[in-house]
Chain A
Amino acid sequence: MGYDMGKPVKKVRFRVFRYDPEKDDRPHYSEYTLEAWKGMSVLDALNEIKAEQDPTLSWRQSCRMGVCGSCAMVINGKPALACQTQVLKLDTDVITIEPLKSFPVIKDLTPDLQNLFRHHTHVKPYIIRRNEEELTEENPTEEFLQSPEELEAFLQFSYCIKCGACVSACPVSQSDPEFYGPQALAQAFRYISDTRDEGEEIRYAIVDNPQGCWRCHFAQSCTFVCPKGVDPAMAIQYLKRDLVLMSVGMKKEKKRAQKAPLGAPTDRVPEKYVPPEFTIAKPE
């Protein structure tokens, strides 16, 4: 038995959202009881259910370690990655698992994320250069230089794994599918604040509309549920700030990345730069 990872601690009941497009008109909930062991994630539990109790249960998963963003689902009312949610930490005897909200359900816990990616591609989530040849050069001779501070201006937002948890939590996305959503707007800001990018005017024009950043009412649920600490709510407010500053002519000129010959020595790391301290979460 592949799943006996630890000693059983207690029995947990799982209420799982079920919908089969070929059979069901409306969704219903199936219940399964499992022995939860220390270290069991909700994803482990689903796999155990599928292996031992109900092979018809479907969901999406790949990496099972919080990197791919496939297994986001609503667990006890909060969108989260199933692989990162510990069954025992939820500290309840009944765990309700539902698919992400605001997305059509293909089957059981599998949402159709097309709307997410439609909005994502709409904000042009890639480096834009005025001189397009720079990006297609066969044998580049120059590279961009970015200081650690310049990196930190967007690093956080580039951690997005497109799992859709933020969109599922956002009250505005819940009532307006045409709202670009926290994910796309955070990515717009990620590229706008990248010093290598020159497409900020295009992107500001895209997000400056009633379905763009102005539809955000700052409920901050996106930030609350984001499993990667991306903080989309902050990114959207900075988009608004930039647009307001631009409209009154107070926006500072954007800093551009310097270019240097390829392979030049890396003596450019500032001496005073201190790498950030990492705290590693202690296992309990």
Chain B
Amino acid sequence: MEKKKRYYPNFPGVPGWIYGGNLNFERVLFLLHRITGLALIFYLFAHIIVVGFRAYSPEMWEMVMGRISGHSNPVILFFEWLLVLAVIFHMFNGMRLIFLELGFFIGKPSRPVYPYRTSIDRQRIFTWIMMILASIFVIWSIFAFFMGGGNHA
């Protein structure tokens, strides 16, 4: 039987975001922004459910908090910290995207003279500033969570 001619789709789909190939740093930020955004939404729902226990009774609330708050469980404390990392990254990268997607810090169209200078080069300083600000908050969060800097201890 003769085989039908067909094309190979070669369509990466969602895994293409992760396995993009040998590409640029901003693409990683895109992926992290998406992951952290979805994680935050997921947390929002979980948060609403957990806080909803308050509506039953003060005892119920105490019981739930005793089991699944960072105060009582170091594993949960660690996950809470991951959540804070996600918030910090999403916030700073989100501010970066708001500026860049409105056309700030990406330069004006110019004559394409070799070697090309592109919006990637132009925005990189701003991106690093935002990421450094984010890492300051990350360092603060380590103190607050694990070294008794916050009111957790």
Chain A interface (Cβ < 8 Å from any Cβ of B): 19, 21-24, 26-27, 74, 76-79, 99-106, 111-112, 152-157, 159, 169, 171, 174-175, 177, 193, 216-221, 223-226, 228-231, 233-235, 237-238, 240-241, 244, 276-281
Given contacts A22-B3, A77-B23, contact A276 B120 (CB under 8 A): no
Q: How far is the CB of A57 from chain B (nearest CB, A)?
A: 15
Chain B interface (Cβ < 8 Å from any Cβ of A): 3, 5-14, 16-17, 20-24, 26-27, 29-31, 33-34, 97, 100-103, 106-107, 109-116, 118-120, 123
Task: Please pick, from A26, A76, A219, A244, the residue contacting B26 in the complex, using a CB distance under 8 A.
Answer: A219
Q: Which residues of A contact B10 (CB under 8 A)?
A: 27, 99-105, 111
Q: A240 contacts B103, CB within 8 Å? A: yes
Most buried by A among B5, B27, B97: B27
Task: Please pick, from B21, B103, B111, the residue contacting A169 in the complex, using a CB distance under 8 A.
Answer: B21
Given contacts A103-B10, A218-B97, A241-B103, contact A156 B109 (CB under 8 A): yes
In the assembly, what is the distance between CA of A171 and CA of B109, in Å?
24
Q: A237 contacts B109, CB within 8 Å? A: no
Task: Please pick, from A26, A156, A225, A244, the residue contacting B110 in the complex, using a CB distance under 8 A.
Answer: A156
Q: How far is the CB of A238 from chain B (nearest CB, A)?
A: 5
Q: B17 contacts A174, CB within 8 Å? A: yes
Q: Provide a sorted-by-A list of 14 A–B residue pairs whose CB atoms are within 8 angstroms.
A: A21-B7, A100-B10, A101-B12, A101-B16, A104-B11, A157-B109, A171-B16, A219-B27, A219-B29, A223-B118, A224-B27, A224-B120, A234-B109, A237-B102
Q: A217 contacts B30, CB within 8 Å? A: yes
User: What residue of chain B has the Cβ atom nearest to residue A20's Cβ?
Assistant: B8
Q: How far is the CB of B99 from chain A (nearest CB, A)?
A: 10
Q: A77 contacts B22, CB within 8 Å? A: yes
In the assembly, what is the distance between CA of A226 and CA of B109, in Å?
15
In the assembly, what is the distance between CA of A225 and CA of B115, in Å?
14
Q: How far is the CB of A250 from chain B (nearest CB, A)?
A: 12
Task: Please pick, from B16, B22, B115, B118, the residue contacting A78 in the complex, using a CB distance under 8 A.
Answer: B22
Q: B26 contacts A218, CB within 8 Å? A: yes
Q: Which residues of B contact A229 (CB under 8 A)?
A: 112, 114, 116, 118
